[in-house]
A and B are shown apart, each in its own frame.
Chain A
């Protein structure tokens, strides 16, 4: 089966006309907070083009998807001149992106930068290229996608699914919300105050808290934090009571096991075996 015809321009653009790589503050995704309002981000473009340049390169920021040209309401940045690109197809440059002028803050109901909102902007670039000098057959080369995330909406709270008391420890199973980056687990000690017991990546759903006192009831709760550090409300609370248990060694000791030789002799046993091998080589000679 052949390729769909609509794929051919894309392949041609990728293979024949090169690429434009974009970044902001040298990242492909940046997170901004209300503290970023009033500041400027530094957008960088790096061209690696080949073929005829048929237009200036447009740079813009949108809060929808990047297309071939900026849409109404997008933040237009300074174009890169066609002649400049023609003379140097592998050039690079920077543009300043004022945070306060991002489309969501200017056009939306956000009421300007700093309010509670969750939105993602994209830094875009596009330039028209051709394989002939007359630009009869044109292809648009788009820049790579760079995201600017503004999120002041706290994530949903995590859910504590279960907790089991171990010997001097507790094992908790957590279900974090999808937009959480980390989860902070708190434990209420017998004196009644909550304190942080562990902070883990949201992908860590099984957490063990050590150094607890057996036969004491502890209360656990958790908070989710998103990539901007915004913390959720508290999760459900769950109680757990650590209790003494017998592992293999405990059971063995009860039945009369001892350690025998000094355990520190373990590495020396290996050394002794190695010495025997060396002696055997001498015997061989």
Chain B
């Protein structure tokens, strides 16, 4: 039904996709995105703990972080869809209370993460360019490194003399669908291109597959995982500008 509505919208527009190359569109080579989503890191997955007593679960009351990310892409290919490489950086934090046994204290404790990704991207925007259908499916894949650190009270938390900070890394993939906003107001879209050089504006939703467990690397004991497992599966939503 939604698809039918989108198609009707596309067909009902006299000029559904105003900024094509044939219509003196400014050159486009970059893509910038801002996205947000609920991120629940699977820190507890490799640990020896029973459900309800695992550290992330009990400290943060099973809550997700609000992850905010910005991404910049450089397009390398524009023909049957567009291919690009990109970099993204984000930030998320979660606060809870330190525990004494099972008693919750007033002392704050936190986990903060800065995910950084190097990505290869393919967007199937051929239908949008050629026929004005304002839906662009896309996929991304690449490498992710997450710098993370913890705090308790006023500073970085120490446990057994070890500071709670480190880096986890792994692979990441995303699949999403972007909705082209230009047909909703073609004149504004044209002005945005001629004035600011922004060819197209999208709203998008995507699903993230992140396996950020340092490729399952083990400590010297051969059992303990190296670094926090920051893998997750989660959805993100955002806005993107192509220019």
Contacts from A to B (Cβ < 8 Å): 164, 166-169, 171, 208, 210, 243-263, 265-266, 269-270, 272-274, 276-277, 280-281, 283-284
The answer to whether the Cβ of B138 comes within 8 Å of any Cβ in the partner chain is: no
Neighbouring A residues of B55 by C-beta, 8 Å = 248, 251-252, 254-255, 257
> In residues 130-163 of chain B, which contact A (Cβ within 8 Å)?
145, 147, 149-154, 157-160, 162-163
- What CA separation (Å) do A112 and B106 show in the bound complex? 52
Contacts from B to A (Cβ < 8 Å): 29, 43-44, 46-49, 54-56, 58-60, 72, 74, 76, 85, 87, 89, 96, 98-100, 105-107, 109-111, 114, 116-118, 145, 147, 149-154, 157-160, 162-169, 214, 217, 219, 224-228
Neighbouring B residues of A270 by C-beta, 8 Å = 89, 116
- What CA separation (Å) do A92 and B197 show in the bound complex? 57
- What CA separation (Å) do A250 and B165 show in the bound complex? 12
Q: Which residue of A lies closest to B72 (CB)?
A: A277
Ordered by A's residue number, 20 sampled pairs between the chains whose C-beta atoms are within 8 Å are: A164-B106, A166-B153, A208-B153, A244-B100, A246-B99, A247-B107, A248-B157, A249-B109, A249-B164, A253-B164, A255-B47, A257-B228, A258-B227, A259-B165, A260-B226, A262-B167, A273-B117, A276-B118, A280-B76, A283-B76
> B147 to A263, Cβ gap below 8 A?
yes
Closest approach, in angstroms, between the C-beta of B77 and any C-beta of chain A?
10
- What CA separation (Å) do A83 and B86 show in the bound complex? 77
> B47 to A257, Cβ gap below 8 A?
yes
Question: Contacts A247-B59, A247-B150 given: A257-B168 contact, CB under 8 Å?
Answer: no
Closest approach, in angstroms, between the C-beta of A214 and any C-beta of chain B?
11
Contact among A243, A249, A258 with B152 in the assembled complex (CB-CB below 8 Å)? A249
Contact among B85, B116, B164 with A269 in the assembled complex (CB-CB below 8 Å)? B116
Closest approach, in angstroms, between the C-beta of B30 and any C-beta of chain A?
10
> A245 to B100, Cβ gap below 8 A?
yes
Contact among A171, A263, A280 with B107 in the assembled complex (CB-CB below 8 Å)? A171
> B153 to A276, Cβ gap below 8 A?
no
Q: Which residue of A lies closest to B47 (CB)?
A: A255
> B76 to A284, Cβ gap below 8 A?
yes
> B58 to A266, Cβ gap below 8 A?
no
- What CA separation (Å) do A252 and B162 show in the bound complex? 12
